[in-house]
Amino acid sequence: MRCVVQRVTESSVSVDGQIVGAIGKGLMVLLGVKSGDTEKDAEYIAGKILKLRIFEDENGKMNRSVVDIGGQVLCISQFTLLGDARGQNRPGFTLAEAPERANELYEYTCECMRKTGMQVEKGIFRADMKVHLINDGPVTILLDSEKTF
């Protein structure tokens, strides 16, 4: 499982011109499910997202998590994170999980974060979404449940 985590002052996602998820200060997460991922991968990613210390403390150091600051999470599924363009210019998506299973693990990841009390907003799986965000910093972190980066 891979994700891009961006520290934001606000973020929203819309489908067909209607906002379907929006947050204030917190994290906007793009989440891609890899073929063979399991609930264990989802639990790892959910925990890592919530524990990332990328918000500033009173000394200006990135030392606080989204939980510490009372922030929110907007989680959006994005299979293109599994795109492989190493051998060609048109990416292949054979590493991405099949849609039904990918949606199950995407929903499970969101539920894992919600179980902690975190407010988690979502996009709509497989929809054509438009994402708006104000990246704070900018701060952008890549996570991978296989810890390849």
CA–CA dist 82, 79 (Å, integer): 6
Measured CA distances, 61 to 39, 54, 121 (Å): 33, 8, 27
Q: Is 80 a catalytic residue?
A: yes
Structure tokens at 11: 């973020």
Q: Is 79 a catalytic residue?
A: yes
Spot the catalytic one: 38, 80, 116, 140.
80
CA–CA dist 97, 58 (Å, integer): 42
Spot the catalytic one: 6, 72, 78, 109.
78
Spot the catalytic one: 6, 55, 72, 79.
79
Q: Which residues are catalytic?
A: 78-80
